[in-house]
Chains A and B, each alone.
Chain A
């Protein structure tokens, strides 16, 4: 887990909230579950959280996955709770999807697919970044 913090300049208070970058595939490590836990904790304390899916992290969003087949409790199903925690900004990197020959069929609604440039810009709008 890498923590990147930025000081907000007093004149420009436009950077706000927490961005969580997901960069790992769902079933072979705990990173995805850890990121989910952090997102929900921040959400329950009414902190603004945005989720970014980049690289192999985009696999976490793909529909029709079933962790039970590999004896893993399927935390991906919990993604559908995001709206109850007011987590509304969910971004996927278009280039990562294209590279992996994935279409934009996700198991949650409201995923915004952004080009690399837009993805970077969206990330830079946040004051804090956690990467899993």
Chain B
């Protein structure tokens, strides 16, 4: 019963990412897109990476991060929109956090 979480808002401006993390399950995946890319630099992301230790699939859309001049981190996957479509098929449900 896996869920794909599409995170589209900055955690510095809204509570969405925190709410997303509070319902996150083991087999879930996260995609950071649009302003969600800013969360790469948020302390919530640091604690998430420590907590899940590679068990949760975390992705960022490369062009969205690049457009915002955000340095990405090597420990997460860099994907494009075609990959997002594929992820939606590989998960039971999708939640958009926006």
Contact = CB atoms under 8 A, between A and B. Distances in A.
Interface string A89-104: 0000000000111100
Interface of A: 24-28, 55-56, 59, 62-70, 72, 99-102
B38 A69 contact: no
Interface residues of B, number: 14
Contact of B13 (A27, A56, A64, A68): A56
Contact of B34 (A27, A62, A64, A100): A27
18 contacts: A25-B13, A25-B68, A26-B68, A27-B67, A27-B68, A55-B13, A56-B12, A62-B69, A63-B69, A66-B66, A67-B67, A69-B66, A69-B67, A72-B67, A99-B12, A100-B38, A101-B41, A102-B41
Interface string B1-20: 00000001010110000000
Interface string B39-54: 0010000000000000
A55 B67 contact: no
